[in-house]
Amino acid sequence: MDLILGDPRWLYHPVRMIGHLITGTEKIIRSCFPKNKTGERIAGGVLALIVLSVSTAVPALILCIAYAYAWQLGLVIESFMCYQILATRSLRDESDKVYLALKEKGIDEARKAVSMIVGRDTRNLTEEGVTKAAVETVAENTSDGVIAPLFYLAIGGAVLGLAYKAVNTMDSMIGYKNDRYRYFGTAAARLDDIVNYIPARVSAMLMILAAACVHMDWKNAIRIWRRDRHNHKSPNAAQTEAVMAGALDVELAGNAWYFGELYEKPTIGDPIRRIEIRDIRKSHVLLFGTAVLALVLFVGIKSVCLLAVY
């Protein structure tokens, strides 16, 4: 369903509901705690607990009622929930808009397109900078938007999958180290680091295997992953970025602007060749290859576990 339907704009997405919950809860929580370092960290922790609890309890209740009424109804509703948790098609589509803008519409439209999928300032990005940003987003979100959700869906179905999306959405909304969220977003950011720790590393291994399957530079992917997988403040983000950079033989990451402030970041990969627009579509090949391998792996493990139980 994800690969066929993607994320149509007319369909109200559960992540938007979680986003509204985060925004509304933040307004209430901030007024209840002191405006200092400790108070903001506690407030952020309370918000994370509330959002995670609601995002888990609501789908659990819906599915409990549906399965109690008819298992077929429960299966249909849970399948639909699982479909909405995944983002393979939408990640490809949104990053491909950047590719098409660079090819057909020029740098200004490309900057606008990439601004929809990255958190950095894009106004002054060059063609190379826009391309890098798109490829990096595909690399990072292969884990966050595809493999990690599949991982948690395999373990706990739609309920655990939506709990993961709640954590991931909180991190994307309040997990910034700017003046507003430096302390308030600490709990969300730490929680995201924890839940993505295993999936990020599984994603990296599967992406290396995918690179080998599609005849990309998998040996260099291993080398760069070993060397640069920690070249990011997040313990997880550079895992798949390092593999992507190595497989494409390009250099990613480096300094970037956020909220008008320059952040100095180490690079990932070696500039064996200059990154090109077509590398965006090459990144899609690794995205889909990694997703297929993850599906096979998780379904296989799940099947073995179920056979062992029954």
Mean pLDDT of 276-295: 96
Mean pLDDT of 159-181: 90
Position 300 confidence tier, pLDDT thresholds 50, 70, 90: very high
Whole-angstrom Cα distance, residue 200 to residue 145?
11
Sequence-distant contacts of 6-10: CB under 8 A, at least 24 apart: 6/89, 6/90, 6/93, 7/87, 7/89, 7/90, 7/93
Q: Is 267 helix (H, G, I), strand (E, B) or coil?
A: strand
Question: What is the per-residue pLDDT for 168?
Answer: 94
Q: Is the pLDDT of residue 282 over 70?
A: yes
Position 278 confidence tier, pLDDT thresholds 50, 70, 90: very high
Q: Is the pLDDT of residue 36 over 90?
A: no
Whole-angstrom Cα distance, residue 41 to residue 49?
12
309's enclosing H/E stretch is: helix 278-309
Whole-angstrom Cα distance, residue 124 to residue 300?
46
Contact status, residue 150 vs residue 294, Cβ threshold 8 Å: yes
Question: What is the per-residue pLDDT for 257?
Answer: 62
Mean pLDDT of 74-92: 94
- pTM of the entire predicted model: 0.91
User: Cα angle vertex 167, ends 165, 171, to 5°?
Assistant: 110
Question: What is the per-residue pLDDT for 258?
Answer: 65
Question: What is the per-residue pLDDT for 92?
Answer: 95
Q: Is 138 helix (H, G, I), strand (E, B) or coil?
A: helix
Across 15-29, 38-52, 172-186, 239-253, least confident range: 172-186
Q: Is the pLDDT of residue 91 over 70?
A: yes
Tokens of 55: 């995002």
Mean per-residue pLDDT of the chain: 91
What phi and psi, each to the nearest 5 degrees, are found at residue 112?
Answer: -65, -40
Mean pLDDT of 204-221: 96
- Number of domains making up the chain: 1
Q: Is the pLDDT of residue 274 over 90?
A: yes
Q: Is 26 helix (H, G, I), strand (E, B) or coil?
A: helix
Mean pLDDT of 68-97: 94
Task: Give alpha helix (H) positions in 175-217.
Answer: 186-213
Q: Is the pLDDT of residue 256 over 80?
A: no
Whole-angstrom Cα distance, residue 145 to residue 14?
14
Position 234 confidence tier, pLDDT thresholds 50, 70, 90: confident
Residue span of the structural domain in which 170 resides: 2-309
Contact status, residue 220 vs residue 201, Cβ threshold 8 Å: no
Mean pLDDT of 267-295: 95
Which has the higher per-residue pLDDT, 293 or 35?
293
172-199 confidence digits (pLDDT tens): 898 877 778 888 989 999 999 999 999 9
Question: What is the per-residue pLDDT for 203?
Answer: 97
Question: What is the per-residue pLDDT for 49?
Answer: 96
Q: % helix / strand / coil in the chain, to the nearest 5?
A: 75, 5, 25
3-state secondary structure 236-262: CHHHHHHHHHHHHCCCEECCEEECCEE
Position 119 confidence tier, pLDDT thresholds 50, 70, 90: confident
Question: What is the per-residue pLDDT for 125?
Answer: 87
